[in-house]
C-alpha cells in the first residue's frame, strides 16, 4: 500500500544526527507532544523529521494503526528519502517512536541492512514488534510513565527480548500521555541525551 506522505525536516547547522518521529496513529506531524520533543532536540543540535505514517483517510481504519508491517515500511521509505537530502546525507539517523510507532521503529531497525544509530520509545508498544525485537541491534531507550502500569509491564517484557543495548527509564508520577507538569520535559531531556550520546 503506497501513499504520498509529507513531513517537515529540520536540520540545524552542525547537526549531530537526524531523528525520525514515528507515531502509530499517523499524527506524528500534528502531535503537540512530538512537536515539543522535536523542538527540544533541535535546540540540542539534532535534526528532526516530523511526518505522518498514515494518510488522514487511512487513520479512519483502526486496523492500519496496528499494522506494524505497513508502518515500518513507511518509516523505511522515509529513512531512504532523508538520506537523499544533502543536509542529512552523511549524518547518523535515529528513530523516536510513540504508541504503535515504537513497534514500527523497532521493526524497521531489525532489517538486516538497517543503519539506525539509536531508538527512543515514548509510552510505546515495543511488544508489538514481536519476534523482530531479537534482531534489533540499535541502542534502545524505553521511556514509560510510572502510572502507566500496563504499558510499563509490556515494555519490561519487550526489553527482555531486545537483541542489543537497552535501557528502561520510568518517569515518576506520569501517565500514558505525560501530561503531568514537567513530565514531557523529562522525556525531552532523556531523549536528547540518548541520541547525543549514541550519535557521537
Q: Give the H/E segment covering residue 103.
A: helix 100-109
What is the full DSSP assignment across 113-176? T----EEEEES--GGGGGGGGGG--S-EEEEEETT-HHHHHHHHHHHHH-SS-EEEEEETT--T
Is 26 a residue whose pLDDT tops 60? no
Q: Give the H/E segment covering residue 33.
A: helix 32-43
Question: Which cell is 62 given?
Answer: 483502526
Average pLDDT over residues 34-56: 93
Whole-number Å distance between alpha carbons of 107 and 172: 28
Q: Give the H/E segment covering residue 77.
A: helix 68-83
Q: Is the Cβ–Cβ distance between 139 and 165 less than 8 Å?
A: yes
Query: The whole model's pTM is what?
Result: 0.94
Average pLDDT over residues 92-108: 96
Is 27 a residue whose pLDDT tops 60? no
Strongest mean pLDDT among 2-16, 29-43, 86-100: 86-100
Give the confidence band of 1 by pLDDT, cuts at 50, 70, 90. Answer: very low
Question: Which cell is 85 given?
Answer: 537530502
Whole-number Å distance between alpha carbons of 163 and 165: 7
Task: Write down the pLDDT at residue 28.
Answer: 58
Whole-number Å distance between alpha carbons of 18 and 11: 7
Amino acid at each position: 500500500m503506497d501513499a504520498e506522505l509529507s513531513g517537515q525536516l529540520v536540520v540545524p547547522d552542525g547537526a549531530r544526527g537526524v531523528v525520525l518521529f514515528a507515531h502509530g496513529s499517523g499524527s506524528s506531524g500534528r502531535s503537540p507532544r512530538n512537536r515539543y520533543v522535536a523542538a527540544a532536540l533541535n535546540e540540542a543540535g539534532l535534526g528532526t523529521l516530523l511526518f505522518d505514517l498514515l494518510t488522514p483517510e487511512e487513520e479512519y481504519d483502526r486496523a492500519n494503526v496496528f499494522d506494524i508491517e505497513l508502518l515500518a515500511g513507511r518509516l523505511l521509505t522515509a529513512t531512504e528519502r532523508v538520506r537523499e537530502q544533502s543536509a542529512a546525507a552523511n549524518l547518523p539517523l535515529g528513530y523516536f517512536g510513540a504508541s504503535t510507532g515504537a513497534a514500527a521503529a523497532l521493526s524497521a531497525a531489525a532489517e538486516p541492512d538497517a543503519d539506525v544509530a539509536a531508538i527512543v520509545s515514548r509510552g510505546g508498544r515495543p511488544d508489538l514488534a514481536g519476534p523482530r525485537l531479537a534482531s534489533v541491534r540499535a541502542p534502545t531507550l524505553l521511556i514509560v510513565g510510572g502510572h502507566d502500569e500496563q504499558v510499563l509491564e509490556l515494555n519490561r517484557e519487550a526489553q527482555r527480548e531486545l537483541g542489543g543495548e537497552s535501557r528502561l527509564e520510568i518517569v515518576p508520577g506520569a501517565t500514558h500521555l505525560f501530561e503531568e507538569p514537567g513530565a514531557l520535559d523529562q522525556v525531552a531531556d532523556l531523549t536528547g541525551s540518548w541520541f547525543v550520546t549514541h550519535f557521537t
